[in-house]
Amino acid sequence: MIAALLFAWPAAAQEDPKLPPEKKLDEEINQRRPGPGEPLRYVPPVPDSLQVPPPRPSERREMLPVPDRWRIMQALGFKWPWYDPYNQNVLKGDLPIRAPDWFVNVGVVSDTLYEARRLPTPVGSQPTSRDGAIDVFGQGKQSTFSETLIVSLALIKGNTTFKPPDYEFRIVPAFNFNRSEVEELRALRVDPRQGTRRSDNHVGLQEAFADVHLRNVSDRYDFDSIRVGIQPFISDFRGFVFQDVPFGVRLFGTRDNNKWQYNIGWFRRLEKDTNSGLNDPWTAPRRDDTFVVNAYHQDFPVLGFTSQATAIYNVNRDGGRDYYNNNGFLERPAVMGDARPHDYRVGYLGYSGDGHIGRWNLSTSVYVALGRDERHPLAQRPQDIRAAFAAAEVSRDFSWARVRLNALLQSGDKDPFDGKATGFDAILENPQFAGADTSFWVRQAVPLVGGGGVALSGRNGVLASLRSSKDQGQSNFVNPGLLLLGVGADADLSPQVRAVGNLSYLRFQDTTVLGVLRNQAPPSREVGWDLSGAIQWRPFMSQNIVFNASAAVLLPGKGLKQLYDEDKRGPQYSVLANLVLSF
């Protein structure tokens, strides 16, 4: 019996189950009234266990091994060249190296700049470049070419998609070549025999730090981390008081699902290369320490607005010796008064906010400066520092355009000899405000006294601080102060082209100190009008290739005409072209 069943098994397995009888086509398409249809005429067959096929033998699963989950696409045949930054690239941190959670990130930036400008340029105090040059200021046309190559190398451990990295090690060297040309001798170097052209190069170290993730404090990955080394730091949203890449130790983190952020840090400023502005790691650091504590609160006081409270304490002890820059000019102390070295201590208390209230964008900062200058060279006595600063920008977006209104108030000093320094100054400013580096007043350092050793304002600085330089000089709280009122607009003409325009009115708060330095009656407080415009072109709608061009002119007011005799020399201007290539 069993043998008969086994013999009949193949034939039974090959027989098809009975199918329902075919219906005639006419019956399928005949119309009928709506309603319940006839029951199915098909009767399922009785299941037969002998008709069920036996289970298939266990077979090996067909699969290809992949080294990690990041390279799944490569295992399917999708591979891109190593130099392609737009797709998965091990050099851009998209794929781990060796270990499953160690990534490397390499970045290269080429920054090329050409700038032509006209500034009041002092006539050489020894020989001059032409006969009959006996005035204080001579020919002011200048030009500068600068090429900077920045290489960023980072090693990161962790999954940065949803949590902070566990470790980060970063080093950023920068290589610069620059060439400048002027019309007056002794404008570029203290030795007039070196002529009116100067070529220089420098290798700087812009970042070199280790970042260690200390702990997570919530299931939302709020954290505490510490960073040690040369690192970038900005004290507020717009860089009004302290923005630098100093050596320091910074403890930072977040709380309450990133609604609270904090920084606690100590920083020691590094010397800068005079002609490139890069860090100079080959010389001893400055005796200038900055202690910072700040906290950010998102969505406070209204949704979409971030508030920041800041306390900064700056201790400057550079008064132990004179310091001359790479071109041979005296930087510390500044060439004013008796030019004797001095130290100072100053604290900054401030509030900053950035965000939007409804459709209106708002960015604001308010600071007070309290401290003591042990011996100001102009007053030749100790002075108590009591100064204030406020700035705000209100803007609104209209489709592809943004219109901006901005105002800035820097307190000035009314009496340089009364023992009170009431002119506000920063530690190292780099303001993104009122046109930033497209503005003439912000971008250019206009010489005032000391053969150009003291300027009205520093390069890439908005404050009328009367310092030798922003990067290498000391803060000066005996200054005329400033009032700035401006209007501007940003327009995205296309995804590739953006246009920017700014118009600012500038006015000193008090010009007594200017009259003392120039040994003349205090000039008028009116500085003039700063008009600037810029175009940005991104041919690939990304930051890989960016071309910037800008032009700015300072239309002199009565005060500037009295200081520089601008009726005879014409307006001051600045024109630049900048190409940035990034990988």
Domains, the chain, ordered by start: 96-582 (2.40.160.100)
Lowest-pLDDT range of 78-92, 286-300, 455-469, 518-532: 78-92
> For position 5, what pLDDT does the model report?
43
Which tokens in the block code for residue 119?
Answer: 């500034």
pLDDT tens digits for range 179-207: 999 988 888 898 888 889 999 999 999 99
Full DSSP string of 371-430: EEEEEETTTTEEEEEEEEEEEEEEEEEETTEEEEEEEEEE---S-TTSSEE-----SB--
> For position 319, what pLDDT does the model report?
85
What is the arithmetic mean of pLDDT over 159-173? Answer: 89
The answer, yes or no, to whether residue 2 has pLDDT greater than 50, is: no
Q: What percent of the chain clears pLDDT 70, i.e. is strictly above it?
A: 87
> For position 29, what pLDDT does the model report?
55
> For position 1, what pLDDT does the model report?
42
In angstroms, rounded to a whole number, what is the distance separating the alpha carbons of residues 425 and 410?
8
Q: Which value, in Å, is the radius of gyration of the alpha carbons in the chain?
A: 35
Lowest-pLDDT range of 125-129, 148-152, 360-364, 492-496: 125-129
> For position 101, what pLDDT does the model report?
86
Lowest-pLDDT range of 177-191, 396-410, 419-433: 177-191
Selected residue with higher pLDDT from 545 and 41: 545
The answer, yes or no, to whether residue 540 has pLDDT greater than 80, is: yes
Selected residue with higher pLDDT from 247 and 137: 247
Identify which of 297, 267, 278 has the alpha carbon closest to the alpha carbon of residue 151: 278
Q: Map tokens 């090329």 to a residue.
A: 112
The answer, yes or no, to whether residue 332 has pLDDT greater than 50, is: yes
Instruction: Provide the 8-state DSSP code for 49.
Output: G
What is the arithmetic mean of pLDDT over 334-349? Answer: 92
pLDDT tens digits for range 11-60: 444 455 555 555 555 555 566 667 666 666 777 777 777 777 777 777 66
CB-CB contact of 395 with 361 (8 Å): yes
The number of CA neighbours under 13 Å toward the Cβ of 355 is 17
> For position 571, what pLDDT does the model report?
80
Paired with 227 in beta bridges are 211, 250
> For position 127, what pLDDT does the model report?
64
Which tokens in the block code for residue 365?
Answer: 């900062």
CB-CB contact of 360 with 352 (8 Å): no
**Beta-strand relationship, 288-297 and 243-244:** unpaired
Highest mean pLDDT among 45-54, 60-69, 138-147: 138-147
pLDDT tens digits for range 496-520: 999 999 999 999 999 999 999 988 8
Per-residue confidence at 395, pLDDT binned at 50, 70, 90?
A: very high
Q: What percent of the chain clears pLDDT 90, i.e. is strictly above it?
A: 65
In angstroms, rounded to a whole number, what is the distance separating the alpha carbons of residues 578 and 420?
43
Mean pLDDT (the chain, rounded): 88
The SS3 of residue 256 is coil
What is the arithmetic mean of pLDDT over 305-317? Answer: 97
Q: Map tokens 């995205």 to a residue.
A: 492
Cβ-count burial 215-249 (b if 16+ within 10 Å, e if not): eeeeeeebbbbbbebbbebebbbbbbbbbbbbbbe
> For position 66, what pLDDT does the model report?
63
What is the arithmetic mean of pLDDT over 453-471? Answer: 92
**Beta-strand relationship, 420-421 and 381-398:** parallel
The answer, yes or no, to whether residue 316 has pLDDT greater than 80, is: yes
CA angle 87, 91, 94 (to 5 degrees): 50
Per-residue confidence at 493, pLDDT binned at 50, 70, 90?
A: very high
What is the arithmetic mean of pLDDT over 57-72? Answer: 69
> For position 135, what pLDDT does the model report?
66
Which tokens in the block code for residue 196?
Answer: 């009116």
* Extended strands (E) in 119-185: 141-157, 167-181
> For position 296, what pLDDT does the model report?
98
Which tokens in the block code for residue 409?
Answer: 């108030």
